Amino acid sequence: MTPFSERAVHALDDKNLRVALDRATTQLKARRAEAFSSLDDAESIRDRARNAKLDLLGDLGNNLLKFEKRLKENGVHVHWAAAGEDANAKVIEIARRNQVKKVVKSKSMVTEEIHLNASLIGAGIDVVETDLGEYIVQLSEDKPSHIIVPIIHKTRADVGKIMHERLDVPFTDDPEQLARIARTKLRQDFLEADMGITGANFGLVETGAICIVTNEGNARMVTSLPRIHVVVMGIEKLLQSLADLDSFLKLLARSATGQKLTVYTTLVQGPRRGGEIGPEEVHVILLDSGRSSLLSGDLAESLACIRCGACLNVCPIYKNIGGHAYGDTYAGPIGSIITPGLRGLENWSELPAASSLCGACQEVCPVRIDIPRMLLRLRQTTTERLTTPISLRLGMMGFGAVAAMPGFYRLATGLGRRLLRLLGGNGWLKYRLLPVKNWTKVRDFKTPAKQSFQQMWQAKEKAGGF
């Protein structure tokens, strides 16, 4: 894979992408703000939700065992998967045992994370995404670029073109007609599928129920029409009780799309019982894949994420480069923690640096995850553990030595200031300055003030004036 910096530059060069991102993130941000303003006790709900989730994660092992017990009491088959490949193999095994030929899926980030679709197709099983955005992603052999809005990077015209080319229908960019085309195609898939696969927004320890929220109602079809329903969920997705779910549903819908409540909230509590419609078998695969090691370290708080996407919409980096540049399933500020956390820092050490540390992500996060703290921690670990370029190490050593000697520091910065002022006659340096040439390639460099802050301060003090 190309380095992050190259992927980011490539994204920055894509003007259409930036227009699409700007429009969508601005809209989502405004809707979120409006939705929260309608909630009187929003701040206390956020506190309650955060505390409930952190308490649960603090005793995750026992909570998982309780959840497993409830699931089994509800007639659900429970499987544990240490890694993504184990989860994929388990799904394929269940499919083969039940002669499954076609699978319908509802939107699920965790199955993106473990590349389940590719494994199913490799095993000769047809798989169809039924969330409209994910359906377009699948048709165009693309990848989702936002947790909530998978095709945030595409315009209506792009979608019309994809449907025209892949489904052999007349071109239109009218959203209603596009939805109608997808609905007609997907209806047939729902009726033909032998297995439905979903993720889980939440799993309730108290009752063993799986909660799935959608705006299109497709999860209801996926969980009720096929003979088999398989849930793939990360082990961190638990909540203790229905009372906690109430808080989380209020926060999730508002943070994700600015709704008071997502249109469809589905609670699955086992296979069908006498007289009911629904699957004959329900399986839950509890996936670790790096989560338990996250839990035991400095990044444990990231497991409280409910994948609402709000931190992406406010991030100045994400808003400019979109999700693909991050190189993996989870993008934006939280992705810059989760990806190195789950996949290892070695190949993902550039991501934590892709942040201005402005704190907007933490401010909007419904569970107040301290994203900036963890990004800084990852940067520190990168510096301690991984090989940093010799130029950077020498530079930092030099700065450390100079900064430790105040007299010398004043002399060096005074000389530097004078030199820079000499080079930049009208207040701006327009050259590509060697040590910071990547910075000055795209920005002019403001020349320093005549006096340092300390000199100004002393002069003010002398003049007797604060």
**DSSP reduced 3-state for 390:** helix
The nearest distance, CB 316 to ligand SF4, in angstroms, is: 15
> Of 290 and 309, which has the nearer Cβ to ligand SF4?
309
Q: How far is CA 129 from the centre of its chain?
A: 19
CB atoms within 10 A of CB 327: 20
Which parts of 343-402 interact with ligand SF4 (CB under 6 A)?
364-367, 369
Which parts of 302-341 interact with ligand SF4 (CB under 6 A)?
305-311, 334
- To which residue do tokens 């910071």 refer? 436
Single-letter code of the amino acid located at 279: P
The nearest distance, CB 261 to ligand SF4, in angstroms, is: 17
Taking alpha carbons only, the member of 220, 230, 222 closest to residue 95 is 230
As a whole number of angstroms, the distance between CA 101 and CA 457 comes to 76
> Of 76 and 110, which has the nearer Cβ to ligand SF4?
110
Taking alpha carbons only, the member of 238, 255, 287, 230 closest to residue 113 is 287
Which parts of 128-187 interact with ligand SF4 (CB under 6 A)?
147
As a whole number of angstroms, the distance between CA 21 and CA 18 comes to 5
The nearest distance, CB 164 to ligand SF4, in angstroms, is: 33
Let me know: does 197 contact 232? Beta carbons within 8 Å.
Answer: yes
**Count, residues near ligand SF4 per rule CB under 6 A:** 15
Which parts of 72-91 interact with ligand SF4 (CB under 6 A)?
none
Pairing of strands 210-214, 202-204: antiparallel
Let me know: does 156 contact 173? Beta carbons within 8 Å.
Answer: yes
Only segment of 209-217, 238-246, 300-308, 409-417 that touches ligand SF4 (CB under 6 A): 300-308
Which parts of 239-298 interact with ligand SF4 (CB under 6 A)?
255
> Of 28 and 60, which has the nearer Cβ to ligand SF4?
28
The nearest distance, CB 335 to ligand SF4, in angstroms, is: 9
Structure tokens at 224: 């009720």
35 binds ligand SF4 (CB under 6 A): no
The nearest distance, CB 305 to ligand SF4, in angstroms, is: 3
> Of 120 and 213, which has the nearer Cβ to ligand SF4?
213
Q: How far is CA 149 from the centre of its chain?
A: 11
> Of 205 and 310, which has the nearer Cβ to ligand SF4?
310
| Site of interaction with ligand SF4 (CB under 6 A) | 147, 255, 305-311, 334, 364-367, 369
